[in-house]
């Protein structure tokens, strides 16, 4: 499983709508509306970098209201939970 953390800046009044569209995308496991400099944080858990590439280009970018994204690849996950099992894909 490959995990990506994506930081979003969103047109103010579309934050809710965009969050709901994001979480419907296969591969996006959680979306949070957050305080601070960013508006949304999404966690994508996919099988490969390619799968994320398609997810980003085909499904994520066309969503209306996204003004800026910063995608971070998780090199390594540290957790007391068995994340692979919990988010089995």
- Output the CA–CA distances (angstroms, integers) from residue 58 to 13, 26, 82, in the order listed: 23, 12, 30
- Which tokens is 72 given? 């971070």
Contacting residue, 20, 47, 84, 89, with a second copy by CB under 8 A: 20
Decide: is 82 part of the binding site for a second copy (CB under 8 A): no
- Which tokens is 36 given? 């601070």
* Least spacing, CB of residue 64 vs a second copy, in Å: 10
- Rounded Cα distance, 34 and 77, in Å: 22
What residues make contact with a second copy under the rule CB under 8 A? Answer: 2-5, 12-13, 15-16, 19-20, 22-23, 29-38, 41, 49-50, 52-53, 56-57, 61-62, 66, 69-81, 83, 86-87
């Amino acid at each position: 499983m490959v995990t990506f953390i994506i930081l979003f800046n969103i047109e103010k009044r579309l934050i809710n709508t965009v969050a709901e569209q994001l979480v419907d995308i296969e591969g996006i496991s959680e979306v949070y509306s957050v305080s601070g400099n960013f508006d949304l944080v999404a966690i994508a858990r996919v099988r490969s970098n390619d799968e994320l590439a398609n997810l980003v280009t085909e499904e994520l970018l066309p969503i209306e209201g996204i003004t800026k994204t910063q995608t971070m690849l998780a090199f390594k996950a540290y957790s007391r939970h068995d994340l692979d099992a919990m988010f089995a894909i």
